Structure 1
Amino acid sequence: MKVRVIKKHAKSIYTKSRIPGVSWSINQYVGCAFACEYCYAKFLTRWNDYGRWGCWVEVKTNAPDLARKHVSGTVVMSTVSDPYQPIETELKLTRRVLRYMDKRNELSVLTKSPLVTRDIDLFKEFRTIEVGLTINGFTGREKRLFEPLTPVHEARVNALKEIYEAGLRAYAFVSPIIPGITDVSAIVEDTRGFTDHYFFEMLNLRAAGREFQELLREEYPESYEVLTNDEVFGTFLRKLKGEIKALNVKTDGIETHQKGWELAGM
């Protein structure tokens, strides 16, 4: 799929974040060619006429200069894009942002791409940094339906290992957890020896959008039922908490996005 590139001159690059525990987000790209069907950032298409999510990417051409600013608190890269999506191979915008960023900034990088290992040399220049790979274990039919354009599971696991073995703090972002599909225990076993911390996140069905909701209901009705029935969801969540506790890994709990279940502590 050909991706339209829209060049923008931004006024700022650091945006105040509403994510708990995160002070700032930084997005040198807006939009993502990985085009995951469940992506929560699809809401951005409401305010532009670029077309379907995944077929365009905004590029903030002056992002490296704007990144020089020193900010207090945690900075997350990125929240409405993937900093290592395919276009980064050619443009190297993320690499230039990292090069010019104030190394005193407390940075957390999250991606689905093994391209992240290219920038290990720059990561080592930061005083405080962690690098995470989104790992959900989707293969076969699930991957074709949910995220056909993303790097495969094994490539992400290998990238996480390389980050860890380089002496950097590495974390696994296990997301989205979809009942009956995401095998949390298998993911932990695949990454246990080279992961400092785990984040577990249930699928946010509402944020995933109507099209994905219909896809899940048609193709995986039992999974859809768990996510839309409070009683069934509660039972599933309790079992999942027990499963994660038995795995004995470092985590803050399970992000659920469900009313009354905002963070399921361990």
Structure 2
Amino acid sequence: MKVRVVKRRTKSLYTRSRIPGVDWTVNQYVGCAFACEYCYAKFLTRWKDYGRWGSWVEVKTNAPELARKRVKGSVVMSTVSDPYQPMEAELKLTRRVLRYMDKRNELSILTKSPLVTRDIDLFKLFDRIEVGLTINGFTGREKRLFEPLTPVHEARVNALKTLKEAGLRTYVFVSPIIPEITDVSAVVEDTRDFADYYFFEVLNLKAAGKEFQGLLREEYPESYTVLTDDEKFGEFLWELKKEIKSLGVKAEGIETHRRGWEFVEL
């Protein structure tokens, strides 16, 4: 699928965060060519009239110069895009932003792409940095239906390993966790040697949008039922919590949105 590139200048790069424990977010791209069917950032199409989610990416051309601004606190990159989506290989916008950011900031990066390993040299210049890979273990039919354009599982695991071997602090964002589909134990077993900690997120069915809800209801009715039935969801969450605790890894907890935003401590 050809992706439309929308170039624009912006007034600021650092945005105050609504994420608990995070002060600032940075999005040098808006939109994502990985075009995951469940992506929560699809809500942006209400204001960005460029077409279907995944068919366009907004590029903030002056992001590197804006990255020079000094802000205090923690920074997350990125929340409405992937900083290492395919066009980054050519544009190197994320790399230029990293080059000019204040290295005293505490920085957390999250991506699905092995391209992230390209910038290890810059990561090492930061006083405090962590780099995470979103890994959900989707293969075969699930990958084709949910995120056909993303890097494969093995590539993400290998990228995590490379980052860890370079001496960086790493984490795995296990998301989305979909009942009957996501094998949490398998993801942990594949990555436990390369991750400092884990964060687990159950699919936010509402934020995934009506199109994905229909897809899940049709193709995986049992999964859909668990996510929409209070009693079944409660049982699933209880079992998931037990499973994660039994794995013996450091975990921040489980994020879930079934009954409003909820953070489940382990």
CA positional deviation for 1:234: 0.3
1:180 aligned residue: 180
Counterparts of 2:176 and 2:155, CA distance in 1: 18
Deviating 4+ runs (over 3 angstroms): none
Q: How far did 1:109 drift? A: 0.3
Contact 1:22 1:75 in 2 (8 A): yes
* TM-score normalised by L of structure 2: 0.99
- Equivalent residue, structure 1, for 2:227: 227
The answer to whether 1:242 aligns with 2:227 is no
Task: Give the superposition deviation at 1:102.
Answer: 0.6
Matches within 5 A, 1:52-91: 52-91=52-91
Matched length:
266
Deviations 1:53-74 (A, max 9, x none): 0000000000001011222221
CA distance in 2, matches of 1:230, 1:54: 32
Shift of 1:265: 1.0
Following superposition of structure 1 onto structure 2, how do residues 34-53 of structure 1 map, counting pairs within 5 Å? 34-53=34-53
SS, match of residue 193 in structure 1: coil
Following superposition of structure 1 onto structure 2, how do residues 188-227 of structure 1 map, counting pairs within 5 Å?
188-227=188-227
Aligned-partner SS, 2:192: helix
1:48 deviates by: 2.1
State the secondary structure of the residue aligned to 1:69: coil
CA RMSD of aligned residues (A): 0.8
The superposition leaves residues 176-198 of structure 1 with CA deviations (integer Å, 9 ceiling, x where unpaired) of 00000000000000001110010
C-alpha distance in 2 between matches for 1:103 and 1:70: 10
CA displacement 1:73-94 (0-9 Å, x = unmatched): 2111000000000000110000
What is the CA distance between 1:4 and its match in structure 2? 0.4
TM-score (norm 1): 0.99
Q: SS of the counterpart of 1:214?
A: helix
How many Å apart are 1:261 and its aligned residue?
6.6
Separation (CA, whole Å) in 2 of partners of 1:260 and 1:115: 34
Structure 1 position 264 matched with structure 2 position 240: no
Percent of counterpart pairs with the same letter?
80
In 2, distance between residues paired with 1:192 and 1:88? 28
Gaps of 5+ in 1: none
* Deviation by residue 1:123-182 (Cα, 9 ceiling, x = unmatched): 000000000000000000000000000000000000001001100000000000000000
Deviation larger for 16-25 or 208-217 = 16-25
Letter paired with 2:243 = E
SS class of match (2:115) = helix
